[in-house]
Chains A and B, each alone.
Chain A
Amino acid sequence: MTPRPLRGLIAKLLVLILRRTGQLERGGLTVLAWRDELAQGLARYHQAAYLAGQGGGTLSEPARQVVARLVQAQLDFLDNFALQLQSAAEWQKRYNARAALYAGSIKVPYWIGRTRMLPLPFMPAQGTQCGNNCGCAWRVEQLEGEGNYDCYWERGKTDSCQTCVARERGNPYRIREGMLR
């Protein structure tokens, strides 16, 4: 149930990550250069995901701050990963798989943009047991009056993790006058 624009962005980012990681594995890149390349990619694709989620337009300052914090979190993970690669005695296949996981991190900014920065408590792929593999989505119904919404957490896969199942049980998430009740 991943929306098409998001799927497209994830695929492009994944290609970038796998290419750079392959170069690192073959010795064509230093760890530092690999880290910088991935950092640039994450910054670019996080912003793109938010813009795609909101259907275009521009990146407002509040949105930029939210995206910046998301990117920072990923860069902190990336720095950790780079340290481990730096000190690793030899390359392991799991490093490739681990690098690929970063592609799924852009789901969060996408859904923040998609839900127009409503004060929802969580996003798909955020704090879930399934992590970046989360295929769930928000469905937002606007109601009468200013700032009134009913939001529904929809599981996209039959094998959703316990976190997503529990979130679904919390439906609907009511926003009234711009605040989550």
Chain B
Amino acid sequence: MTDTAQQYHDLSKSVRRFDLTDRGGGVVRLNIWGMGPLVPQALPPDLPPSVAERDRWLRMTPHVEGLWSSALNIAITKTAALAWDIDSDQPRISQRMQELLLHADGGRGWVYFLSRHLRAYCCNTRGAVVEIARQTRVYGSRLAGIHHLPTSRCVPTGDPDIPILYHALDGREYELKWWQVIHFVDMPDDEEREANICAASRAYPHILKLAAIERYVLEKVSGSRPLEVHIVNGISPSQIDDAFATAKEDQIRQGHVNFMGVVLMTSVQADAEVSGYRIPLAELPDGFNRKEEFDIALLAYADALGLDPQDVQPLTGQQLGAGAQSQVLEQKAKGRGLLAWRQDFVHQINELVMPESCRFYFSEKDIRDDKLRAEADKTRIEAVGAMIEQQMINPQQGLQLLVDAEIAPEEFLAQDQTAMTTIGDDDKPESEADATDVEITPGGESEDMGVETKATADLLDAEIAAAYALAHEVLG
């Protein structure tokens, strides 16, 4: 294990150290804290009003419904696999920040950390909590690591100074100050009643339905429980038994062992005309189309997670326009689901984890994005060219426009003529110490002023005598 890895395996600065019980001998026991079975038989039709109970059921949804589990996995994997970068003009600091993120969650790694975090974000009304472990509890203390904290043991307080209380496995409660924790929530409640809506909440009716359908089909096929009651008159139980014995032998011969699924209740009157009643205990509705229900549910899952529907259901045998449809859906997906999480994540990491000199961002290298950008750039360049041709602007101004549009590099200009009036949400504003003062110099605008260098100062001193002579000459 390298020194770096060893450093980040140390949980002594994290609140998670209170979850570990040291039994001596170098072995630690991690207590499993939970209530009820890990995998329930069935989900409740209505989620309970208590947030903690609601989240308990929502966390179980991936265990109950396989397609939802797969869709969730796709959403998590796509996001956890995103490339990211840290910009800084101080390489040592950016390297340290990179190591911090790569060894997140006690050294388990970035992908593991982000996968747990995103699963919590998607399956908890209370969202996901990230601990920013520091060397001491003091604000601004050196970073020691970042960790995912189980949402079930994090209680939001509503207090901006102490936003989270962590219930450790040692049975005690620990306060986490605002600089020690980041709390991410999907669709936050505007009334601050914790009625947030996570992806699992949004998809819950479909999860419930699909789980029930799949279970019905499974039980019907496997005969694991009765699904119908037939009341039959005019036939004796022994005749039924003989009939079933024959059928059973036949089925066993064909390899069908389970054929239950129907309960037969016979009447005693053997001389009565054979008749019967069928009472379905569980049944699919008339006109039920499994594929349609399947498609509806997958679309709902994709919507809830902000995925392109084709991510969860690839186009197979679909009609024309599939390629263009993919492109359109991809563009539309840019405004959905986990994109809000990404923006929030980048903001919070930059505000609370990264130092002033560093900027974290996700870097998407998508050829389609590059192509779209190149097309947009080409249009802009042609427009600027037309303006220059028509002498609406001069070439220098045209170059300035292209620099402002980030098509041409800034270095092409001697000095950027336009003041930057907007700042992107992933830009960090300069600190006061870093800012270059722009003042209105008496006698002129600031934008034509450079920043004097020593070489220039020396040059001016060397030429001052000749300047006096010249001025005297022209003034006569």
Contacts and interface: CB of A to CB of B under 8 A. Distances in A.
Contact of B470 (A9, A127, A131): A9
Contacts of B440: 119, 121
A89 interface: no
Given A12-B470, A68-B457, A76 B444 contact: no
Contacts of B427: none
B382 interface: no
Interface string A103-128: 00000100010010111111100110
Contact of B467 (A45, A66, A74, A108): A45
A150 B475 CA distance: 26
A72 B467 contact: no
Contacts of B470: 9, 12, 44-45, 48, 52
User: Which of B440, B453, B457, B460: most chain A CB closer than 10 A?
Assistant: B460
Nearest to A68: B452
Contacts of A121: 440, 445
A2 interface: no
Interface string A73-111: 111110110000000000000000000000000001000
Contacts of B466: 44, 48
A51 interface: yes
A119 B468 CA distance: 25
B408 to A, nearest CB: 13
B394 A73 contact: no
Given A9-B470, A47-B467, A68-B457, A73 B415 contact: yes
A66 B442 contact: yes
B456 interface: yes
Interface string B451-465: 111001101101110
A75 B441 contact: no
B449 interface: yes
A117 B443 contact: yes
A123 B459 contact: no
Contact of B451 (A47, A66, A69, A120): A69
Contacts of B83: none
A153 to B, nearest CB: 13
A64 interface: yes
Interface in A9-36: 9, 12
A76 B442 contact: no
B448 interface: yes
B445 A126 contact: yes
A171 interface: no
A40 B461 CA distance: 10
Nearest to B451: A72
A72 B456 contact: yes
Contacts of B460: 43, 47, 64, 67-68, 71
A46 B450 CA distance: 14
Given A45-B470, A76-B450, A71 B456 contact: yes
Contacts, number: 135
Interface residues of A, number: 50
B448 A126 contact: yes
Contact of A122 (B445, B452, B456): B445
Nearest to B393: A129
A165 interface: no
B29 interface: no
Contacts of B452: 65, 68-69, 71-72
Interface in B418-457: 440-445, 447-453, 456-457
Contacts of B394: 129, 131
Nearest to A49: B471
Nearest to B417: A127
Contacts of B459: 39-40, 43, 71
A56 interface: yes
A8 B474 contact: yes
A73 B463 contact: no
B453 A72 contact: yes
Nearest to B446: A69
A69 B450 contact: yes
* Of listed B441, B445, B472, B474, residue having the most chain A CB within 10 A: B474
A123 B471 CA distance: 20
A59 B461 CA distance: 11
A43 B441 CA distance: 19
Nearest to B453: A72
A55 interface: yes
A74 B393 CA distance: 21
Given A52-B471, A75-B450, A118 B442 contact: yes
A5 interface: yes
B456 A5 contact: no
Contacts of A79: 414
Nearest to A41: B463
Given A40-B463, A123-B444, 20 more contacts: A40-B459, A43-B456, A45-B467, A47-B460, A47-B471, A48-B474, A52-B471, A52-B475, A56-B471, A66-B449, A70-B448, A71-B450, A72-B456, A73-B415, A74-B450, A80-B413, A119-B440, A123-B443, A126-B448, A131-B394
Q: Which 10 A-B pairs have the closest CB atoms?
A: A72-B450, A47-B467, A51-B471, A112-B443, A48-B470, A76-B414, A69-B449, A73-B450, A44-B463, A77-B414
Interface of A: 4-5, 8-9, 12, 39-40, 43-49, 51-52, 55-56, 59, 62, 64-77, 79-80, 108, 112, 115, 117-123, 126-127, 129, 131
23 contacts: A8-B474, A40-B462, A40-B463, A43-B460, A43-B467, A44-B463, A44-B467, A45-B470, A47-B467, A48-B471, A52-B470, A52-B471, A55-B475, A59-B467, A62-B442, A71-B459, A72-B452, A73-B415, A75-B450, A123-B444, A126-B445, A126-B448, A127-B445
